[in-house]
Chains A and B, each alone.
Chain A
């Protein structure tokens, strides 16, 4: 206990003296929040080229309707099929629309009027949304024409969709709660990744090892000051999420803060484990990166967990980030309470306890 308090006090002094690191530790998550939080994942204004061989009021109407969806933005007018294709290959546009010369005639006669839509498949989310928008547009127009011809004013089937929690589908509201988990993963793990290996490199660990301080006292004494720092990071990020991006927190802020302490503990313990093992700071950095990238890819922040193959789903559940992404989204977006998040909380507690124990064991084995 005495050793723990002595180490804690010493770490606090180190932290206070190292103003540069302190500024970076507090500034980087906020900077990244502002940077990544501004990304709009709704596909809008897809650059589009038009090859209009008809140049008639009918083709103009079609183009106007496409622009009205806000999905497409007409960037270029081309005069051949080849030029249309070339515009997509060179990447200046993602969608090419070719309207044949007989488009007006077919539209007037009510026979099948076709147009060609070339879609760049190299970007998955743009391709699927562009396809959906074009399909929707053609379908709506067809239905309107047909019902006018038949003289009916109602459609036989009409859905009434209601998007819960984020009615305006603002992407910041969806993105930032998950982003918080990811930002903390990085800064949290890296904060402690150097805590022990730095002392090993500078030789101060050797001096420490001839004192009666125990491995557990060392680990905990180093963890607690960083936990405070990481918690300040979290509060800052939440503050800017609320004030700058106007993301509403539907659940309890206190619950979020409390659960984040468990999450931060697991991250710091992971960093300490890496640090206890590594011989040099460079080695620690590499190990941390090796663990951080999967945390981001598999946490459910980028890809939904359900889209992962089973072995990766299992791996994902071992990552603390996975559970905190769920918790953060649950509390902020859906207003979930402890009862709703029980599974995630238990998982996070177990992971934290295991990582903390592991870091003590690794340090005890490795020592110098």
Chain B
């Protein structure tokens, strides 16, 4: 009943006692896709992942992973998924090989099949040089790759990664992502939670969780064009400053037609009415700040999207306060 989706989530709600962690989340991720799950800490990302792994039973709703119902057939789901938790969760007093062998054996791999599979995974994540090192003595990046390798031993159809790149260096981060693309190309469905916008932009689809609700979900490109982000009659421009953008910021805020300003390095991103041309923005800002700058029209970034959606949601929650606790 789940069609071709790698992950299908329907109306999942989860309460920890009186605290609602997820509210009516619905989501469909086609097979072989990388899905990025974004949202601030405590928004429910880990809860959703843990429900899909069969570690938590949802309070309400259904979910299918690789076509299997996680509520009724959690054991079947476990054979088909790999899970890389936020915190390193392999055995530090075991070597790389011992860790991989243990997880392979738990899934019933043995003998030649185990060796072949292990060699393939070691080659894939490139952990060969450290095979006899204790997991405790690996760097953060290698620990993450070992976690991924362990999660891949049994050839899972779906892999969940909970903030896999938190706290590892940019090079290791990029290498891990290259691995994820390889898996995706091999038809593995991946759900990755992250705080990094550049990672979100690499995903085929992204979803944004905020206060336990899934606010938006879709291809990054299409999210950028959401009407709520750039309302009809407005557009986004970048003001590249010659001097310090921070000094221009306050003047930009003071301009009556500027609806929103965010600072990005040495530029400002402005939300302005379509009727105001680039040249008049340039002139107004230059006069007010005494700095030279150039203006060009841009698409919003994913960060713009999420910041904007969060603000809209907060407004809405503020308006409808009467009905809530």
Contact = CB atoms under 8 A, between A and B. Distances in A.
Contacts of B79: 212
B81 A210 contact: yes
B107 A206 contact: no
A18 B93 CA distance: 8
B46 to A, nearest CB: 11
A203 B147 CA distance: 13
Contacts of A202: 89, 92
Contacts of A211: 78, 103, 106-107
Contacts of A212: 75, 78-79, 106-108
B102 A9 contact: yes
A2 B106 contact: yes
Contacts of A5: 105
Nearest to B86: A203
A18 B134 CA distance: 13
A368 B55 contact: yes
Given A10-B91, A203-B85, A209 B105 contact: no
Contact of B83 (A2, A6, A17, A210): A210
- Which label, helix, strand, loop or mixed, suits the secondary structure of the B interface? loop
Contacts of B87: 203
Interface string B152-169: 000000000000000000
Nearest to A212: B78
A210 B78 CA distance: 6
B27 to A, nearest CB: 20
B98 interface: yes
Interface string B107-143: 1101000000000000000000000000000000000
B90 A210 contact: no
A207 B89 contact: yes
Contacts of B89: 202-204, 206-207
A14 B90 contact: no
Interface in A1-41: 2-3, 5-7, 9-10, 13-14, 17-18
Given A9-B102, A212-B75, A207 B55 contact: no
Contact of A206 (B85, B94, B106): B85
B109 to A, nearest CB: 9
Contacts of A18: 93
Contacts of A208: 106
Given A5-B105, A209-B55, A204 B78 contact: no
B188 interface: no
Interface of A: 2-3, 5-7, 9-10, 13-14, 17-18, 202-204, 206-213, 367-368
Given A203-B87, A206-B85, 10 more contacts: A5-B105, A6-B105, A203-B88, A206-B55, A206-B89, A207-B90, A210-B81, A212-B106, A212-B108, A368-B55
